[in-house]
Structure 1
Amino acid sequence: MRLATLRIGPKTEGALIDADGNAHLIGMSVIEAIAGGLERIGDIATLRMVPEGSYGLEAPIPAPPKNIFCVGRNYMEHIAEGDRAQKRDVGVTEVPVFFTKPPTAITAPDGAIPIFPHVSTNIDYEVELAVIIGKTGRDIPAERAMEHVFGYTILNDISARDVQRKHGGQYFKGKGLDGSAPMGPWIVTADQIPDPHALRVRCLVNGEVRQDGNTRDMVFDIPTLIASLSAGMTLEPGDIIATGTPSGVGYAMEPPQYLRDGDSVTCEIEGIGRLDNTMRDEGRARLNVA
């Protein structure tokens, strides 16, 4: 089952997307459905159908109630390329590295990813499998962790590398700029992904393959991530966990290859789909507040 948030004119609606791309409105938000509404939806044929082409897709969770939880340094080859590029030898940590991205970082599928040149000129991409939590829990043991997974989506962890370095390597500011978390195109429910640790993961820039990995290469698997993150901290329906990125990021190339205005970025994950976005130079544009 594919669960999405649609844009129909000025409104957004939760919907199920069928195999033909038609949307079936569910009369509730995606967050409400994740929290238990799917059992109340009933037969998909009884729902109002919106034909493909008559709607746009928002991020499946366009306004998460919490920051997005992210995992750093979770693929061995990515750890190695990062250490080479930064001329250091951190290696694998004993426990997962966590940071967050704020809800204002969310960008829709096919939406523009803003670039702010007065803030950063070193914008990078990171394709990631994102886990959507479906059941509340704290101190979740690893052997029960998958019971708390509702489904999966794609997230591009857009990163301002120069801002990261400027702030002492601290992740939040460099990864929390507006629009820096394109997500979607939908959530695929866990029952449709037999093994989330055997999925091909790719990122293409202007059609050129930059990242091509597999989730089997995670240092810390999904049960370990959930157990570690939930230790002393409650996870709730709709929480998003981005699980890290494989090698091939722009800053580790020789010479580094950063994203520029007009670049197209495509993130693909086997069994989920593709997330397409275009970079857009916002200059010194400011959000107008009344």
Structure 2
Amino acid sequence: MKVASLKSGRDGQLLVVSRDLRHAVPVPDIADTLQQALDNWEALAPRLQVRYAELNAGSAPHALDFVPAACAAPLPRAFHWADGSAYVTHVELVRRARGAELPESFWSDPLVYMGASDAFIGSRDPIEVENEDWGIDFEAEVVVVTDDVPAGITPQQARQHIKLVGLVNDVSLRNLIPAELGKQFGFYQSKPWTSFSPVLATPDELGGAWDGARVHLPLRATLNDRLIGAPNAGVDMTFDFPTLIAHCAKSRSLVAGTVIGSGTVSNAGSESGSCCLAEVRCLETIADGKPSTPFMRFGDRIEIDMLDAQGQSIFGRIDQVVQRYQPPR
């Protein structure tokens, strides 16, 4: 099953979307919003699945064309957004580029921070930034969405709480990060709006590419029509999604609609390219002593997508242009 949210108010209007991403149908008789559906997932998911089957068969009433540009993020705002750094090879590369050692604990204890979830943006919404000098970077990631997760669960138990899978562009302002981390209190100004793929999908939509813990498919990042990378999201993921969920739920429960991010997808050696410009610049620094690839500029276009074995987009394409933000004066 695939779901999206039509732009409507703060929380959108829930849509069920066809497998081929061509058609959609509102489901107000089942749930008004995706959060409402997640709050009552056990009861409502079977009814949504029936509507999904009808839509794919061409018999769903009130079906309409699916237009990603008319959609918000599938969850326009969420109660909890926790982003990990599950690909430790990426962290190791970044540290090596600046001559820093990777603590041994990074291989056994996940890195996770709590991000801003009050206003996610849609797949076609612009990346609005006030200043190019802030170092505008994309980060292509896989995310999962949970139902209610009890505190203290094991990774094995966490598997059953993964209800939806999707993609995000976790935009970073790289030149603001050092000062923030220097305060030893985490990201804030350096993490603007996060954008989502047009749809989220239940794990069964991934078929054999989903093993219950990882998505074994390339994640494609294309900047200004040039493929920057397509690393396989199932390779070199040191901490899988159940492990990340259990880590986040160590000392407290997680509410339905919690979004857990993988962090930038990265494969060791980066032979398949990179899912962020910071990694590209680190590789250049290691090879040449300095980076040569600039961060994004106003007018740049970033596309993020994941294709199935038949070359069809699973979640729809994130397709954004960087725009100058003009603050009120």
- TM-score in terms of structure 1 length: 0.87
Give 1:159-170 correspondences, 5 Å limit. 159-169=172-182
For 2:70 and 2:292, the matched residues in 1 are separated by 37
For 1:233, the equivalent position in structure 2 comes to 252
Give 1:265 deviation, angstroms.
Answer: 0.6
1:84 aligned to which of 91, 96, 101: 96
Which residue, 117, 122, 128 being the options, matches 1:103? 117
Verify the 8 A CA contact 2:134 2:176 in the aligned structure 1. Answer: no
CA 1:53 to 1:274, structure 2 compared with 1: closer, same or farther past 3 Å?
closer
Q: In the superposition, relative to structure 1, how do residues 9 and 135 fare at CA in structure 2: closer, same or farther (>3 Å)? A: closer
Structure 2 unaligned segments of length 5 or more: list them: 55-59, 267-273, 282-290, 308-313
> How high is the sequence identity, in percent, across the aligned residues?
22
Identify the residue that residue 25 of structure 1 maps to in structure 2: 26
Aligned pair partner of 2:76 in 58, 62, 66: 62
- Structure holding more helix per residue: 2
Unaligned runs of 5+ in 1: none
Instruction: Report the TM-score, using the length of structure 2 for normalisation.
Output: 0.78
Q: In the alignment, does 2:116 pair up with 1:112?
A: no
Secondary structure of 2:228's partner?
Answer: strand
Post-superposition CA distance 1:122-164 (Å, at most 9, x none): 1111100011112332212111111000010111111111111
> What does residue range 173-212 of structure 1 map to in structure 2 within 5 Å?
173-177=188-192, 179=193, 181-194=194-207, 195=210, 196-212=214-230
1:213 and 2:231 aligned: yes
**Does the residue aligned with 2:156 lie in a helix, a strand or coil?**
helix
Question: Which secondary structure state, in structure 1, belongs to the residue aligned with residue 201 of structure 2?
Answer: strand
Q: Name the counterpart of 2:161.
A: 148
Partner-residue secondary structure (3-state), 1:214: coil
Distance 2:303 2:220 in 1: 8
CA displacement 1:235-287 (0-9 Å, x = unmatched): 1211101111134222342224211111111111244332111111114x13x
Cα distance in 1 between the residues matched to 2:318 and 2:263: 16
Q: Is the 8 A contact 1:26 1:47 kept in 2?
A: no
CA distance in 1, matches of 2:13, 2:126: 21
Give me the whole-angstrom Cα distance separating, in 1, the residues matched to 2:46 and 2:25: 15
* Distance change >3 Å, CA 32–CA 76, structure 1 → 2: same
Is 1:48 the equivalent of 2:62? yes
